[in-house]
Each structure stands twice: as C-alpha cells, then as structure tokens.
C-alpha cells in the first residue's frame, strides 16, 4: 500500500516511465545509453541546484537567488582562472566559500529579521546578478589543462553514451541529499520546520541554526552548480542561467514536494529533473515542434501536481476528521 504522502512521487515516477516508453516507441534511438548519458550530463547543474532547492522548499521557504548565484560563480571562476591564472581548484574553493556565506547571510536575515524568504532571496537574486555583471559582462572562456582533464574524464557505456564527471557529481549530490534528508537530525529538523514552525519550536528544534544551515546548503549547492555549469560550457557568462531557479522549483514540485513544506522526497526531485530533460530531448528528436512546448508541458504538469497535492491533503484531513469524530 502506497502511503498517500508518497503518491505524488509515485505518480511522477509512473509518468516518467510511461512518457519515456512512448518516446521510445516513436523514436527507438531514444533508448540509447547516449540519451541517458546526455540526460544526466545536460541537467547536472540544474539537478545540483534542485537538491538545495528541495531542502529549502521542504522547510517551507523558497530560494530565488539560485540562477544568479550560478551565473556569478561561473563568471567568478572564469575570470579567476582565465584572467588571473589562479589554479581552478583554488577558484572553485573560493567560489564555494563565497556562495555558502551568501546563503548563510540570507538565512540569517530570514530568521532574525523575520523577512519572508521570498523577499530576502529576491534581493539576493539581484545582488548576485549585479555582482556577476560587475566581474565581467563578456562571456569569458577558460582554458586550463586541469579543466581539460576533468572534462576528459568519463566512463563510456556500450553504445557510445558517457557518464561524465559532471553527471557523477550530480548523482553523488543526490545520494548525499537523500541520506541527509532521511537519516540525519538536520534532515528531520528541516521536515519539522516545514511541517509546522510553531510546534517545531515547541519541540525544541533549533530553528535558527537549521534555517541558516538550509540557506547555506542551498548557497553551497548553487555554487557547486555554478562550477559544474562553468565546466559544462568551459566559460563564464553573466547573462547565463536566467530563471534556472524556476526550473529547479518546477522540478521539486513535479517531484512531489509540497510547496508549503514538510512533505517531499529528494529522489522525487531527481525524477522531476529527468522528466524536464526528457521533454526537451523529445522536442529535439522531433525537430519540428517549437521549443516553447517544454514550458507549456511543464506548466501543465505543475498545475496537475498542485491540484493532486491539494486533493491528497483535503482527503487525508477529512479522514482524520472522520476518525476523530468516531473516537468522540
């Protein structure tokens, strides 16, 4: 018996499997290791950012700064490596420290100044985008031996597909995310805060520290996504990844996480990402559809899932009420 709370996740998984099946029926080439490798590599940066976003949304918050932080990181790394000759690893480390501190700061403002996350991270979005422009308005190429080695590292599947380092990073982030969310105290605290802030506080959940950690985690993962994006395009560009936070939110919601917080799975987000990637791949394979159909289908899926979630909540509330009535 599937628990009602996991129903959105199971639905998404079913939709993904059926959709993939239908795609393969039309284009047999889509069932190749190459397409699967592409799905993982092309969506690596989005997936990493979406893990951070899942934690934020599970806690009942939102982080709109993700896309800008990715762009900032990519420009920052590109300029550090390309113009100043810093070793990529040093640049990566510096970028991660900056993005994590940036997340910390936003978390602290949300908690201690009691400003809604939407407002704080909106400001963060403009700030990070502005900072990216300040670093460079041009697209900055990176060429470094170390980066070439990183990009050259991949596991080849039979059939020509490849599991790149970028895809591996994303898979590791998802694996760690799943463990953290389901097996650690921090994960439990996130669910508790998202479920009901007052009762979490009454139960002695360290709300302040957890909130700051959630946004720091999202900042860190946005920074990591930025590094992956930099490697993906071997360049940094301040205009890049506009609106990626919305794609991440869409993946999280399609993956079955409740936008109001408290319910959801990191694994669901993974399926959400794959589903988005699948739609894009299908449109490229078809080659005649307008690529804006991606947005339309995502929009429809979002509507369906929000309605589904609402129905589940309504249904379980009613069941609860009926049971209470019986006990009386």
* Cα dihedral across residues 309, 45, 156, 279: positive or negative: positive
Query: Minimum distance between the CB of residue 237 and another protein, rounded to whole angstroms?
Result: 6
Provide the residue count of the chain: 328
Query: Minimum distance between the CB of residue 25 and another protein, rounded to whole angstroms?
Result: 10
Q: Which is nearer to another protein, 32 or 196 (CB)?
A: 32
SS3 163: strand
Tokens of 175: 């694996």
- Burial status of residue 114 (CB atoms within 10 A of its CB: 0-12, 13-18, 19 or more): exposed
Query: Minimum distance between the CB of residue 116 and another protein, rounded to whole angstroms?
Result: 29
Query: Minimum distance between the CB of residue 117 and another protein, rounded to whole angstroms?
Result: 26
Q: Which is nearer to another protein, 42 or 201 (CB)?
A: 42
CA 265 to chain centre: 12
Q: Which is nearer to another protein, 91 or 217 (CB)?
A: 91
Q: Are strands 154-156 and 235-236 parallel, antiparallel or unpaired?
A: unpaired
Tokens of 124: 């963060």
Q: Which residues in this chain contact another protein in the complex, by CB under 8 A?
A: 24, 27-32, 34-35, 38, 41-42, 45, 139-141, 151, 159-160, 229, 232-235, 237, 240-242, 277, 280-281, 283-288, 290-292
- Distance, in Å, from the CA atom of 88 to the CA atom of 207, rounded to the nearest integer, reads 36
Q: Which is nearer to another protein, 68 or 280 (CB)?
A: 280
Query: Minimum distance between the CB of residue 181 and another protein, rounded to whole angstroms?
Result: 27
Q: Which is nearer to another protein, 286 or 317 (CB)?
A: 286
Q: How far is CA 256 from CA 5, 271, 273, 312, in A?
A: 9, 10, 12, 11
Q: Which is nearer to another protein, 40 or 110 (CB)?
A: 40
Query: Minimum distance between the CB of residue 38 and another protein, rounded to whole angstroms?
Result: 5
Place of tokens 């420290």: 97
Query: Minimum distance between the CB of residue 101 and another protein, rounded to whole angstroms?
Result: 26
* Cα dihedral across residues 43, 247, 208, 219: positive or negative: positive
Q: Which is nearer to another protein, 108 or 168 (CB)?
A: 168
- Distance, in Å, from the CA atom of 310 to the CA atom of 306, rounded to the nearest integer, reads 6
């Amino acid at each position: 018996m599937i628990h009602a709370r996991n129903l959105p996740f199971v639905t998404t998984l079913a939709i993904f499997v059926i959709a993939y099946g239908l795609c393969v029926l039309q284009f047999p080439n889509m069932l190749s290791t190459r397409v699967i490798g592409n799905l993982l590599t092309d969506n690596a940066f989005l997936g990493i950012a979406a893990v951070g976003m899942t934690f934020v949304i599970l806690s009942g918050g939102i982080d709109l700064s993700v896309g800008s932080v990715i762009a900032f990181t990519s420009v920052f790394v590109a300029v550090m490596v390309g113009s100043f000759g810093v070793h990529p690893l040093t640049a990566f480390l510096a970028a991660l420290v900056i993005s994590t501190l940036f997340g910390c700061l936003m978390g602290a403002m949300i908690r201690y100044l009691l400003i809604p996350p939407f407002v704080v991270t909106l400001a963060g979005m403009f700030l990070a985008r502005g900072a990216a422009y300040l670093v460079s308005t041009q697209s900055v190429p990176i060429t470094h031996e170390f980066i070439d080695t990183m990009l050259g590292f991949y596991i080849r599947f039979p059939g020509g597909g490849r599991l790149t380092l970028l895809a591996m990073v994303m898979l590791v982030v998802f694996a760690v995310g799943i463990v953290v969310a389901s097996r650690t105290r921090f994960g439990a605290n996130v669910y508790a805060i998202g479920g009901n802030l007052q009762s979490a506080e009454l139960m002695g959940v360290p709300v302040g520290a957890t909130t700051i950690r959630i946004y720091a985690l999202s900042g860190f993962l946005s920074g990591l996504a930025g590094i992956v994006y930099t490697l993906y395009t071997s360049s940094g560009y301040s205009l890049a990844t506009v609106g990626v936070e919305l794609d991440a939110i869409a993946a999280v919601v399609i993956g079955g996480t409740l936008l109001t917080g408290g319910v959801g799975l990191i694994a669901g987000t993974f399926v959400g990402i794959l589903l988005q990637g699948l739609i894009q791949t299908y449109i490229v394979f078809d080659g005649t559809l307008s690529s804006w159909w991606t947005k339309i289908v995502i929009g429809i899926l979002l509507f369906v899932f929000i309605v589904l979630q609402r129905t589940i909540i309504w249904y379980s509330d009613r069941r609860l009420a009926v049971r209470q009535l019986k006990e009386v």
